[in-house]
């Protein structure tokens, strides 16, 4: 297979990107149509800057003994994938595991809490537990409707991990506010580039008539992954999503000049991901407009990096 099955694409009329099924370090995008573990085993250790994924929640029904076994089995399966992802991670790299609750018979299983010890056992350190809040979802009759999921962001210990908040700053509430007195009088009191977006991200989920909606039932919004890619990686870094679905992580990587690798077992989703990657590369992919640009008070050095990329 290799390059025989790859597609050469024109990205924004400047660069050529290549989508391959089989992993090679110099691929722009690897889209492996099969089991995640097979792709992960084919990749070299310490090669990935960012693992970002939303794993399947294939936990069985919550009945007595079976319930316990099934949850334990799930954690065991996930441990195997997480262990391999940790082995693939570069020293300054990040793992972002995006997870919601699994609900069975009206019992809520907090999957991030169940998986946190797995990351800790591997020596990874939690930097943020980001709450992703959205408005669309099932309306519950016997509990409060679920309106958030989380992203667990891990790195290796120490301070030498990549993190740059500047490309993802959001508008200040009072951008023109200045120091009234003291040595900084007259200077802006808030960072004119915008503020740190914090750890609660309000981004619509991809439902109904969302412009990014495909046939995949639970795809990431592009904006969610863009934030992570822009803050945690640099151009040409490798971004990995072992459970690629409709390929959103790879799409966000391509939009920002990063390399990507992903695996997906369902052929229809692989086709969707491929189509989206082609559209991302040639500039025709429709995405939801992002957070309004950072306000630039006159005389400030404000740069709206969020809006210059597209
Ligand atoms: C929660 S969805 C991910 C959606 C993705 N984040 C997106 O933006 O479209 C999980 C995906 O993992 C896929 N999957 C499940 N088991 C897998 C495996 N062992 N290897 C690869 N993909 C798998 C499912 O088919 C599903 O598309």
Kindly report the average pLDDT of the chain as a whole number. 87
Give me the percent of the chain exceeding a pLDDT of 90.
70
**Domain segments of the chain: what residues?**
2-163+205-287
Mean pLDDT of 105-134: 96
The ligand 1 site (C-beta within 6 Å) comprises 35-36, 54, 56, 216, 218-220, 243, 245-246, 248, 263-266, 269
pLDDT band of residue 4 (cuts 50, 70, 90) is: very low
pLDDT for the residue numbered 179: 93
Per-residue model confidence (pLDDT) at position 33: 98
Q: Which of 103-107, 132-136, 149-153 has the lowest mean pLDDT?
A: 103-107
pLDDT at 296 > cutoff 70: no
Cα 77 from chain centre: 21
Q: How close is the Cα of 171 to the center of ligand 1, in Å?
A: 34
Is there a contact between 244 and 31 (Cβ–Cβ < 8 Å)? yes
CB 118 within 8 A of CB 64: no
pLDDT at residue 8 is higher than 80:
no
C-alpha pair distances (Å), 195 with each of 172, 295, 306: 6, 11, 13
Task: Give the residue, by CA position, lying nearest to ligand 1 atom 10.
Answer: 56
Q: Which helix (H) or strand (E) holds 106?
A: none
pLDDT over threshold 70, residue 2: no
Q: How far is CA 209 from the centre of its chain?
A: 22
103 CA from centroid of ligand 1 (Å): 18
DSSP conformation letters of 183-223: TTTTSBSS-TT-B---SEEE---S-TT-TT--S-TTPPPHH
Residue among 149, 95, 151 at smallest CA distance from 120: 95
- Measured in angstroms, how far is the CA atom of residue 56 from the centroid of ligand 1? 6
Grouping H, G, I as helix, E, B as strand and the rest as coil, residue 18 is strand
25-35 tens-digit pLDDT: 999 999 999 99
Assign 3-state DSSP to the chain and report helix, strand, coil percentages, each to 5. Answer: 30, 25, 50
Query: pLDDT value at position 69?
Result: 55
For residues 272 and 66, what is the distance between their CA atoms, to the nearest angstrom? 35
Which residue pairs from 109-115 have beta carbons closer than 8 angstroms and sit at least 24 positions apart in sequence?
109/59, 109/62, 109/71, 111/57, 112/150, 112/152, 114/71, 114/74, 114/75, 115/75, 115/78, 115/82, 115/152
Query: Which of 137-141, 149-153, 250-254 is predicted least confidently?
Result: 137-141
pLDDT at position 27 = 94
β-pairing, 125-133 with 148-155? Answer: antiparallel
* pLDDT tens string 37-91: 999 999 999 999 999 999 998 776 444 344 555 888 899 999 999 999 999 999 9
Which has the higher per-residue pLDDT, 64 or 273? Answer: 273
Testing ligand 1's pocket by substitution, the residue of 85, 225, 244, 252 carrying the most ligand atoms inside 8 A of its CB is 244
Which pLDDT band, with edges at 50, 70 and 90, does 173 fall under? Answer: confident
Name the residue at shortest CA distance from atom 14 of ligand 1.
Answer: 243
Residue 174: pLDDT band (50, 70, 90) is confident
CA–CA separation, 143 vs 153, rounded Å? 28
Homologous superfamily (CATH) of 2-163+205-287 is Vaccinia Virus protein VP39 (3.40.50.150)
| pLDDT value for 247 | 98
Atom of ligand 1 nearest to the CA of 246: 9
CA 231 – CA 256 distance, rounded (Å): 12
Q: pLDDT tens-digit profile of 94-110? A: 999 999 988 888 889 99
User: Are 30 and 262 contacting, i.e. CB atoms less than 8 angstroms apart?
Assistant: yes
pTM greater than the 0.75 cutoff: yes
Average pLDDT for 185-194: 87
For helices 222-232 and 248-255, the axis angle rounded to 10 degrees is 50
pLDDT of 85 reads: 98
Continuous H helices in the chain? 36-42, 64-88, 111-121, 222-232, 248-255, 267-282, 305-308
Nearest CA to ligand 1 atom 12: 243
């Amino acid at each position: 297979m290799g390059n025989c099955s790859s597609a050469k694409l024109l990205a924004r009329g400047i660069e050529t990107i290549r989508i391959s099924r089989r992993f090679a370090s110099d691929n722009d995008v690897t889209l492996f149509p099969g089991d995640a573990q097979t792709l992960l085993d084919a990749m070299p250790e310490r090669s990935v800057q960012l693992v970002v994924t939303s794993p399947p929640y294939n936990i069985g029904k919550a009945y007595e003994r079976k319930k316990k076994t099934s949850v334990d089995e799930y954690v065991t399966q996930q441990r195997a994938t997480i262990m391999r992802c940790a082995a693939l991670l570069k020293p300054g790299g990040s793992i972002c595991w995006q997870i919601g609750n699994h609900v069975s018979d009206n019992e809520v299983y907090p999957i991030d809490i169940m998986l946190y010890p797995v990351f800790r056992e591997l020596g990874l350190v939690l930097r943020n537990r980001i709450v992703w809040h959205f408005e669309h979802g099932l309306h519950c009759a016997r509990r409060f409707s679920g309106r958030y999921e989380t992203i667990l962001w891990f790195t290796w210990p120490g301070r030498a991990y990549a993190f740059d908040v500047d490309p993802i700053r959001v508008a200040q509430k009072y951008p023109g506010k200045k120091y009234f007195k003291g040595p900084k009088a007259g200077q802006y009191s808030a960072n004119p580039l915008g503020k740190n977006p914090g750890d609660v991200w309000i981004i619509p989920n991809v439902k109904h008539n969302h412009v990014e909606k495909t046939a995949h039932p639970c795809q990431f919004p592009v904006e969610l992954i863009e934030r992570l890619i822009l803050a945690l990686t640099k151009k040409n870094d490798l971004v990995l999503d072992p459970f690629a679905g409709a390929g959103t992580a790879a799409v966000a990587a391509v939009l920002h000049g990063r390399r990507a690798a992903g695996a997906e077992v369902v052929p229809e989703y692989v086709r969707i991901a491929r189509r989206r990657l082609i559209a991302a590369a040639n500039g025709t992919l429709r995405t939801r407009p992002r957070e309004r640009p950072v306000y630039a008070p006159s005389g400030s050095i404000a740069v709206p990096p969020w809006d210059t990329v597209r």
